[in-house]
Amino acid sequence: MTPLLEISNLRISVNDKPILNGISLNVHQGQIVAIMGPNGSGKSTLAKTIMGSPEVKVDQGTILFEGENITELDVTDRAKLGIFLAFQYPQEIPGVNMRYFLKSAYEARFGKKIDQLEFKSLLSDALKKLDLDSSFVQRNLNYGFSGGEKKKSEILQLLLLKPKLAILDETDSGLDIDSLKSVAQSVTLLKQSNPEMACLIITHYERILEYLIPDKVYIMKNGYISAEGDINLVNQILEHGYACFS
């Protein structure tokens, strides 16, 4: 079966500094794939590269999505194809009302206008699932949000935009145990309603992986993949740290 995402021998630089040094990985439809690795190993850069961030320069290699070469596509076109990145540090956007932003993002994702009433009902369903009050979307995008609220704002986008590939960059960091559980439950819920969605979960900690069991785990170190395996790799990291991976 053609992988949903297929990255081959990817070399990336940022500001002329090589960051990713030949990464190859696959994600299949419906899979949960975890990427773990120490600080500075290149995890967020990989996430940005898959999303098509203009900051990164592809020096070599290809990114295929559903078998199509997307290496040269920009962020907007990748979002339309169904790739979504939940950022490690979601940006605060003071002048942009959250509800307006979500409606525009929805229309861009699905390439059609949606009427106010229909959107209202979609939005209120999503808010209910996340146990959020409707006042949440009357605020400006992430502006003045607590760390936990910012993560919920990303999950809300995920619920509405129904991506084929959701990349969650450290979605667990900065969350207390109850918020972590609630975010993990939301992703589980989302996967139940959209089983074809694949998740690429970038994390330092094994905690979120207790709730979202990965089908595959990659360990990144110094801009390359140093190990590939299953949940047992996570247990090795817990016992020995990243030092045992070369």
Ligand X SMILES: Nc1ncnc2c1ncn2[C@@H]1O[C@H](COP(=O)(O)OP(=O)(O)OP(=O)(O)O)[C@@H](O)[C@H]1O
| 44 interacts with Mg ion by CB under 5 A | yes
Toward Mg ion, which CB reaches closer, 6 or 170? 170
Q: Which residue from 160, 9, 195 is spatially nearest to 86, judged by alpha carbons?
A: 160
Q: Considering only 23-31, 43-51, 90-98, 137-145, which stretch makes contact with ligand X by CB under 6 A?
A: 43-51
Q: In what order do the strands lie in the sheet with 198-202?
A: 83-86, 165-169, 198-202, 32-36, 216-221, 224-229
Residues 13-32, interacting with ligand X (CB under 6 A): 14-15, 17, 19
Q: Would you call 99 helix, strand, or coil by DSSP?
A: helix
CB of 118 to Mg ion, least distance (A): 37
Query: 101 CB contacts (<8 Å, ≥6 apart)?
Result: 93, 141
The item of Mg ion, ligand X, none sharing an interface with residue 14, based on CB under 5 to 8 Å by kind, is ligand X
CA 17, CA 135: separation in Å to the nearest integer?
A: 43
Toward Mg ion, which CB reaches closer, 27 or 167? 167
Q: Would you call 193 helix, strand, or coil by DSSP?
A: helix
CA 31, CA 200: separation in Å to the nearest integer?
A: 8
Toward ligand X, which CB reaches closer, 14 or 58? 14
| 41 interacts with ligand X by CB under 6 A | yes
CB of 126 to Mg ion, least distance (A): 27
| 209 interacts with ligand X by CB under 6 A | no
Sites of contact with ligand X (CB under 6 A)? 14-15, 17, 19, 37, 39-45, 55, 88
Sites of contact with Mg ion (CB under 5 A)? 43-44, 88
